[in-house]
A and B are shown apart, each in its own frame.
Chain A
Amino acid sequence: MSYISSEKLAEDAKQAWEELTKRTEPLKPKDRMAIPAQEMPSQDPAIRRTNMKEVALGYTPEQAKLEAERCLQCKTAPCIAGCPVGIDIPGFIQAIADDNNQKAIDILKESSLLPAVCGRVCPQETQCQAPCTVGKVLKSVDKAVSIGRLERYVADWERENGLIETPAIKPETGKKVGIIGTGPAGLTVAADLRREGHHVVLFEAFHKPGGVMIYGIPEFRLPKAIVQKEIDVLTKMGCELKPNFVIGRTRKIQSLLDEDGFDALFIGTGAGLPRFMNIEGENLVGVYSANEYLTRANLMRAYEKDHADTPISDSKKVAVFGGGNVAMDAARTAVRLGAKEVHLIYRRTEVEMPARVEEVGHAKEEGVIFHLLENPKRILSDEQGWVRGIECLRYELGEPDDSGRRRPMAIEGSEFEIDLDTVIVAIGNDSNPLIRQTTPGLETNKWGNIVADENGKTSVERIYAGGDIVLGAATVILAMGEGRKAAAAMNEMLANS
């Protein structure tokens, strides 16, 4: 994938659109599939390596309409089945093609509270775009209709034109609901419950709401102003926000229910306990969890070195362990903070990487060095207890394991070293134990995730849960989908109590 400037993409789209509009007879499926797939315009890699601004710039109106015309409007709509929240995808795409963006956003918002976020961070190539007929016929998921980019286009159109409306609220019910955690799950539940007229209080441990969308996902992938806009809608709806409030410490769950008059609670505290590899040298100075590195950089704004009080290392040679979105975010943040070399180390191959294809592509364009089928064996220390490098092993793929992916196996005697000053461990998160430890009777599984039924109901009356705290580390859209189901069940429970 070579870089094409946004000007060139815009110009090409303009011409293609003009030609398409000259046609008089209706488009046949063959014609639609002949329309060139629209690339996402992005900042030049050489320039964006040095700034935190958003990389993907969004479609032009012509690009959006061209891409929308590529959709075959399949009767079976396999894309809808691929969407965790079941958005009417052909419906909103048809509205774009018809030049009716308002209708498009209305359709999106029937199912998704956060289209501007999901359009940016969803792994579309494994969800809605995976079964897309266009992609199947053209024999590449990269050629599927870019549903995510269209979703983003419509959401941005609404926001940039100041058209976001505060949803109507039903008459006050006098019922009070607490939402614990203000990530994607919590925000979704808050909106759905408030719409029904319940009083909603959102509790956030950090000083700013938004959860992983604020502390974790970097500005260059998801601008914080977009997340803030979504939160502003909730406060305009009358949701109450309590930051700097750690449930389990500042107040326990049981006290909220028994003493503070909450009729129901939703726990959406996410997967916030970083996993380490348990290899030698992991506590050396210079080793971060990705959570720490990204929180310093994003939430605490360490990238604005002249303003932020929160420090971050002046790293020159960095290794990131892992192959997910968080690993890509950490590696690309390190690039922007001035590292000369950033190595991404993953023990399988690119095919197995859980990261979004677009993020992998962006990371490569920005000069991140990919080490595939390699894995760290230990982290090496200098005399002062600081990181000086890592020892790695080469791997090969063996038989498929339980996850269906081929099991990576170390090649004996293949050790080699890489010189480094910083290591970032991005191999996943477990659930935070705080609520589990302070809430007797709340059932959890062997991984520490809260056990909830398909409606988010936990083992304790009036307590619901959803998102990563139930699923284990997953995605924004899944958290949102879980939130919607839990909110529906909570609304029903509250109506009948």
Chain B
Amino acid sequence: MSQILEKRQLSETVFLMRLDAPLIARERKAGQFIILQLCEDYGERIPLTVADADPEAGSITIIFQAVGKTTQQMALMNVGDEIAALVGPLGSPTHIENFGTVVCIGGGIGIAPLHPIAQAMKAAGNKVIIIMGARNKELIILEDEMRAIADELIICTDDGSYGRKCLVTEPLKELCEQSPKPDLAVAIGPPIMMKFCAETTRPYKVPTQVSLNTIMVDGTGMCGGCRVTVGDETKFVCVDGPEFDGHLVDFDNMMNRLNFFKKQEDHACKIGLHGGSKK
């Protein structure tokens, strides 16, 4: 059981929650995630990145978009309510060191997991350039927090309602063309965005890390549902990842696998919205 200590709505469908989780707050490092569940008998287990943590206060921050059954239910929960099961921190932490110049690219809700990584990269002495992208201004989250970290911040929107009207790959390409080019790119966002970020940096040989959010059940290596093809190997996102070399990930296969239960999930979401909670 974990109590909701704070709840903020960041955009129409994006919410921030601070949860009481002293053990996770103490151990968690940038890049790691948690799995939560709203009902121990019938709830699904969903992975969410830890966007921030406060070991003294014993709390962690998660940011989620209300897109599925569980996240839609969570959007309706309030301060004082309890999350039935919360486990973590899971996954391998991000490898942090002073690489030189690191460009961090966040798309939509992917800006949330990018935040602690950008923070840690900055703390390690890197020059940090942040590119944030979303469909429109309303969907740009954590701008103040990112601005506080970034040596340079570039905002892009698809409709031009804020910042540059372009995809994140455009400024990324410009940075790769500069001399010196970035030493590392870290891209987190929708799979299609990460795929094209990796394609953008590939000709410039800029090492590119991506953080994958695949379907999971246990999150400890037991089910293998999260597996992805990386180079010639099959890797488990939950224990081998969630971060991988973006130039080696088979994104098309990964995107297919994300649709594994689309039919059943569309059904569940409709019931969830109109039929009330099944808790």
Residues of A within 8 A of B (CB): 205-208, 215, 243-246, 249-251, 272-274, 276, 278, 282-286, 288-289, 291-292, 295-296, 300-301, 304, 307-314, 384-386, 432-434
Instruction: Given the known inter-chain contacts A246-B90, A295-B217, please indicate yes or no for A301 contacting B227, CB distance below 8 A.
Output: no
Residue pair A314, B225 in contact (C-beta under 8 Å): no
Given contacts A283-B228, A295-B218, A296-B217, 19 further A-B contacts (CB under 8 A): A205-B87, A206-B218, A207-B40, A215-B222, A243-B85, A244-B86, A249-B220, A250-B24, A273-B222, A285-B256, A288-B225, A291-B222, A292-B217, A295-B222, A307-B41, A309-B69, A309-B70, A311-B264, A384-B256
> Which of B27, B39, B234, B257 lies in contact with A250, CB distance below 8 A?
B27
CA distance A384 to B261 in the complex (A): 14
CA distance A434 to B24 in the complex (A): 17
Residue pair B224, A291 in contact (C-beta under 8 Å): yes
Which segment of B42-50, B127-135, B157-165 sits at the interface?
Answer: B42-50
Contacts of A292 in B (CB 8 A): 217, 223-225
Q: In terms of DSSP, what is the predominant structure of the interface of chain A? A: loop
CB distance from A307 to the nearest CB of B (A): 5
Residue pair B217, A274 in contact (C-beta under 8 Å): no
CB distance from B4 to the nearest CB of A (A): 16
Q: Does B274 contact A (CB under 8 A)?
A: no
Most-contacted residue by chain A among B24, B45, B218 (CB, 10 A): B218
Contacts of B261 in A (CB 8 A): 311-313
Q: Does B265 contact A (CB under 8 A)?
A: yes
Contacts of B222 in A (CB 8 A): 215, 272-274, 291, 295, 432
Contacts of A250 in B (CB 8 A): 23-24, 27, 87-89
CB distance from A357 to the nearest CB of B (A): 28
Please name the 9 residue pairs, one residue from A and one from B, whose CB atoms are nearest each other, closest first.
A311-B264, A292-B223, A385-B256, A309-B44, A311-B261, A244-B87, A289-B224, A207-B85, A272-B222
CA distance A145 to B44 in the complex (A): 44
CB distance from A157 to the nearest CB of B (A): 29
User: Nearest residue in B to A275 (C-beta to C-beta)?
Assistant: B224
Residue pair A434, B239 in contact (C-beta under 8 Å): yes
Contacts of A274 in B (CB 8 A): 222-224
Q: In terms of DSSP, what is the predominant structure of the interface of chain B? A: mixed
CB distance from A243 to the nearest CB of B (A): 7
Instruction: Given the known inter-chain contacts A250-B23, A250-B88, please indicate yes or no for A273 contacting B221, CB distance below 8 A.
Output: yes
> Which of A282, A285, A289, A313 lies in contact with B223, CB distance below 8 A?
A289
Could you show 17 A-B contacts with beta carbons less than 8 Å apart?
Answer: A208-B40, A251-B27, A272-B221, A283-B229, A283-B257, A284-B256, A295-B222, A295-B223, A300-B44, A300-B217, A301-B41, A309-B278, A311-B261, A313-B261, A385-B253, A433-B239, A434-B221
Q: Give B244-265 as 1s and 0s: 1 = Cβ < 8 Å from A's Cβ atoms.
A: 0000001011001101110111
> Which of B42, B227, B234, B239 lies in contact with A307, CB distance below 8 A?
B42
Contacts of B87 in A (CB 8 A): 205, 207, 244-246, 250
CB distance from B65 to the nearest CB of A (A): 17
Q: Does B142 contact A (CB under 8 A)?
A: no
Residue pair B45, A285 in contact (C-beta under 8 Å): no
CA distance A225 to B37 in the complex (A): 22
Contacts of B265 in A (CB 8 A): 311
Contacts of A208 in B (CB 8 A): 40
Residue pair B43, A309 in contact (C-beta under 8 Å): yes
User: Nearest residue in B to A432 (C-beta to C-beta)?
Assistant: B221
Most-contacted residue by chain A among B42, B43, B234 (CB, 10 A): B42
Q: Does B67 contact A (CB under 8 A)?
A: no
Residue pair B259, A244 in contact (C-beta under 8 Å): no
Q: Give B47-88 as 1s and 0s: 1 = Cβ < 8 Å from A's Cβ atoms.
A: 000000000000000000000011000000000000011111
- 8 Å CB contacts to A: which residues of B187-212? none
Residue pair A310, B234 in contact (C-beta under 8 Å): no
Contacts of B278 in A (CB 8 A): 307, 309
CB distance from B277 to the nearest CB of A (A): 10
CA distance A249 to B220 in the complex (A): 9
Instruction: Given the known inter-chain contacts A206-B218, A384-B256, A385-B253, please indicate yes or no for A251 contacting B23, CB distance below 8 A.
Output: yes
User: Nearest residue in B to A304 (C-beta to C-beta)?
Assistant: B42
Q: Does B273 contact A (CB under 8 A)?
A: no
Q: Give B89-114 as 1s and 0s: 1 = Cβ < 8 Å from A's Cβ atoms.
A: 11000000000000000000000000
Q: Does B268 contact A (CB under 8 A)?
A: yes
Contacts of A300 in B (CB 8 A): 44-45, 217
Most-contacted residue by chain A among B45, B220, B250, B253 (CB, 10 A): B220
CB distance from B165 to the nearest CB of A (A): 33
Contacts of A295 in B (CB 8 A): 217-218, 222-223
Residue pair A249, B88 in contact (C-beta under 8 Å): yes
Contacts of B260 in A (CB 8 A): 285-286, 313
Instruction: Given the known inter-chain contacts A285-B259, A292-B217, A385-B253, please indicate yes or no for A309 contacting B42, CB distance below 8 A.
Output: yes
Contacts of A309 in B (CB 8 A): 39, 42-44, 69-70, 268, 278
CB distance from A252 to the nearest CB of B (A): 8
CB distance from B116 to the nearest CB of A (A): 16
Contacts of B88 in A (CB 8 A): 246, 249-250
Most-contacted residue by chain B among A205, A276, A304, A313 (CB, 10 A): A205
CA distance A106 to B247 in the complex (A): 63
CA distance A249 to B44 in the complex (A): 21
CB distance from A108 to the nearest CB of B (A): 31
Residue pair A291, B223 in contact (C-beta under 8 Å): yes
CB distance from A152 to the nearest CB of B (A): 27
Contacts of A304 in B (CB 8 A): 42
User: Nearest residue in A to B236 (C-beta to C-beta)?
Assistant: A273
User: Nearest residue in A to B68 (C-beta to C-beta)?
Assistant: A309
User: Nearest residue in B to A273 (C-beta to C-beta)?
Assistant: B221
Contacts of B218 in A (CB 8 A): 205-206, 295
CA distance A285 to B257 in the complex (A): 5
CA distance A44 to B220 in the complex (A): 38
CB distance from A385 to the nearest CB of B (A): 4
User: Nearest residue in A to B264 (C-beta to C-beta)?
Assistant: A311
User: Nearest residue in A to B36 (C-beta to C-beta)?
Assistant: A244
Most-contacted residue by chain A among B40, B223, B239, B264 (CB, 10 A): B223
Contacts of A278 in B (CB 8 A): 234
Most-contacted residue by chain A among B88, B217, B228 (CB, 10 A): B217
Contacts of A384 in B (CB 8 A): 256
CA distance A216 to B215 in the complex (A): 19
CA distance A194 to B268 in the complex (A): 44
